Structure formats: structure tokens, C-alpha cells
Amino acid sequence: MGLKNRSPEEKLHHFVRLLLESPHNLTSIKESGQAYIKHVEDVVRPFKEKRLKGSFIDVGTGGGVPGLVMAIMFPETQWFLVDSIKKKIIEVERFIYELELGNVQTICGRAEELSNKYRKYFDGAFSRALGKTDVTLELCAPFVKKEGGCYIYKGPSWIKEKPRIEKACSILGFSEPEVVNYRLTDNSLHTLLVFQKIKETPEIFPRRVGKALKKPIGIYPEKV
């Protein structure tokens, strides 16, 4: 029997199996219980009381986290998964086929190069483990419509980035983040930062490939 009509819980467990069995080392975790905590529970826990609607982009999806997990949890939403590494995108496409998901598309490319085509196209952008928050915001911001959101998963040490985050928000058009703290079943503390886009992102962002990482706007504010 296919997975199309299976419950979200069944699909999520199958997704974890696909991750663990992949020959492309998409996760360093080898035990299924821990993999479920890290790649599923961590993604969905802060949305226990929230609902999503609309279209979303997962920037730097890797093995499909968080995008595939959220697509399973919220089948009424549409997802666009982006990564610059072709073998990862090919593997994610296999996962989509195996899971029989009709609400997910993929593309191999860099956020800086895709942002013009998809500028102000999505209701929200998601990212996990992409880098420092100000760098992630610059890469995600152009994709998001005004009044849309940017959702960035972080560990508790994110607070050290707060000055950089404040500068990035003021430049890129975001509010200061709503901070959603939560604990997983292994008792680890995690955070979801939710940024609302309150004004348009200046057209100069994102800058050319590599510039956001080399000169983060939270440290070297770009003149607009």
C-alpha cells in the first residue's frame, strides 16, 4: 500500500527511515529514535498550537529538513525546497516520490541567484542550520512577501547574536523576532525565531554569492 493516504505520523516515521538509509550521509545520527527527535520533533514542536497556510520556501533544505517535515504536517500548504548541492536535491526528490507528496517542489541553486525570479513570492521562508541568523535573514528575506514570516530554528546560544540580528532586521525590513522556546523529549532546549516582514526588503539584497557570509550585515551594515 502506498503512503499517500497514510497518517502524518506514519509518513514522518517513514521519512526518518529514508534519511537513515540514504547513502548520502544526510544525517550524522544513526539511531532512529534520536533521528526522529532531531529531524522531526525539533521541527514540529513549536507549531503544536500554530497553523500554517500558504506557500513556503525552505532555504538550504539539505535532506529535506524542515521543508519535507512541514509539508507532511500541513498538507494544505505548498513547499519549495532549495539547496545548492545537486545530489541532495536528487535524494529529496526521491523522498517526495516515496512519500507520495503532492505539495512539494525542489530546485538546485543558490538563494542569491534564485531571489530575483521568486522575489516576494512566498508567504514565509524556513531555514535550519544555514548559518548565523543575520546571514540567513539576508538569504531568505527577498523571497518573502510583506507581512509574511521568516522562521529560523536555533539553539539557546542564539542570544549571543542579538546585536547582529537587530541590525539585520532594521535593514532587511523585519520586526524583531518572536522567540519561541521549547524542550524536546531528550530535555534539550531549542528556539524558533519568528520574524515578520513589516516593510519591503531593499532591492540590493541579497548581495552576490558569498557576500552575506563574508561581510554579514549584522557586523558590516550595508548602506541602502
| Per-residue pLDDT tens digits for 83-112 | 999 999 999 999 999 999 999 999 999 999
Domain, as residue range, for 57: 8-214
**Residue 220 covered by a domain:** no
- Domain membership of residue 219 (yes or no) is no
Q: Is residue 221 part of a domain?
A: no
Long-range CB contacts (within 8 A, 24+) of 209-213: 209/110, 209/112, 209/113, 211/112, 212/112, 212/135, 212/138, 212/139, 213/131, 213/135
| Digit-coded pLDDT (tens) for 179-191 | 999 999 999 999 9
Q: Which helix (H) or strand (E) holds 72?
A: helix 67-73
Number of domains in the chain: 1
At residue 173, φ and ψ (nearest 5 deg) are 95, 20
pLDDT in tens, 130-154: 889 999 999 999 999 999 999 999 9
Predicted TM-score of the model (pTM): 0.95
Within a domain: residue 222? Answer: no
DSSP code, position 117 = T
CATH number for the domain that contains residue 191: 3.40.50.150
| Within a domain: 115 | yes
Q: Does residue 12 belong to any structural domain of this protein?
A: yes
